[in-house]
Amino acid sequence: MDKRILTVQDISCVGQCSLTVALPILSAFGIETGVLPTAVLSNHTGGFTGWTFADLTEEIPKINAEWGRQNINFDAIYTGYMGSAKQIDYVLEIFRDRKISGGVIIVDPAMADNGKLYAGFDNAFVKEMAKLVAAADIILPNITEACFLAGTEYAEGCQTEEYVEKIIGGLRAIGAKKIVLTGVTFSPDKLGVAVNEGGKTEYRFENFVNRRSHGTGDIFASVFTGAFLQGDTIADAAQFAARVVIESIKKTMDDDAHWYGVKFEKALPMILSRNK
Ligand code: PXL
């Protein structure tokens, strides 16, 4: 039976992130995807000179109630950028009410990068996000998000295995189950992921591509979710997602004007070619 997934994140109308990334990517995997927009912004908050913001927090319980009346449920729920701290409790209700039994919850705690919280987020928001992390089967934080959640100091540059294990321990202490930590680097030429499912941590590295880019976390999370739902192991899904991110960055490299995102559309053939 085909699976149906729900993704919960904002619509940034321009900027190649959140829903404008998740929907085409999950569709490319052949997966039916429902959306629950958390907010509508004119554009993302990472580098534009301003943005409009329409908070959709109070729509969430109304939509949940209507879906309840119609018995509309999902095999998986994947969350990203939240529009408010308050809506996190409503999203927990969505997890409780709308996930079929045996379904999977994937949480990308999209709230920070490069050592800093995104505009508008504070420590109170981090505390709320920890509730989604504890409710998830799989979480997909980058190093910065993991440090905020785990209460570990963020360190620039190369890490040690000991440091990564400390972060993973901190995430487990707040209730995380399966962890895919992105932005792991032990040497300047390699960047990858650490995958921890409770026991030993498995590392998957790719060659480092030197360009800081917006929206790559959303591409990673969306591709991970699609590949995992297609049956990949967590580590294989994470590695494939990293490769799609790298291809998207490479397709953007020669365009200096394209600072606000990466051209993931040009990497979609990698996904389409997996489908039978
Ligand atoms: O890519 C994460 C993201 C999603 N949504 C909004 C953002 C960002 C990152 O800055 O601003 C609105």
Whole-prediction pTM value?
0.98
Report the separation in Å between the CA atom of 46 and the middle of ligand 1, taken as the mean of its atom positions. Answer: 7
Which ligand 1 atom minimizes the distance to the CA of 218? 1
Cross-strand partners of 244 = none
**Structural domains in the chain?**
4-275 (3.40.1190.20)
Q: What angle do CA 270, 272, 276 make, to 5 degrees?
A: 120
- Residues 6 or more apart whose CB falls under 8 angstroms from that of 131 comprise 88, 89, 92
| Contact status, residue 185 vs residue 159, Cβ threshold 8 Å | yes
Say how far apart CA 172 and CA 155 lie, in whole Å.
20
Say how far apart CA 46 and CA 62 lie, in whole Å.
30
Report the separation in Å between the CA atom of 199 and the middle of ligand 1, taken as the mean of its atom positions. Answer: 32
Closest by Cα among 121, 52, 53, 42 to 88:
121
- Spell out the per-residue pLDDT of the chain, length 276, in tens: 899 999 999 999 999 999 999 999 999 999 999 999 999 999 999 999 999 999 999 999 999 999 999 999 999 999 999 999 999 999 999 999 999 999 999 999 999 999 999 999 999 999 999 999 999 999 999 999 999 999 999 999 999 999 999 999 999 999 999 999 999 999 999 999 999 998 899 999 999 998 889 999 999 999 999 999 999 999 999 999 999 999 999 999 999 999 999 999 999 999 999 987
Structure tokens at 65: 């109630």
Q: Is the CB of 81 under 6 A from ligand 1?
A: yes
Q: How many CB atoms lie within 10 A of CB 40?
A: 16
Say how far apart CA 235 and CA 3 lie, in whole Å.
21
Report the separation in Å between the CA atom of 1 and the middle of ligand 1, taken as the mean of its atom positions. Answer: 33
Report the separation in Å between the CA atom of 81 and the middle of ligand 1, taken as the mean of its atom positions. Answer: 6
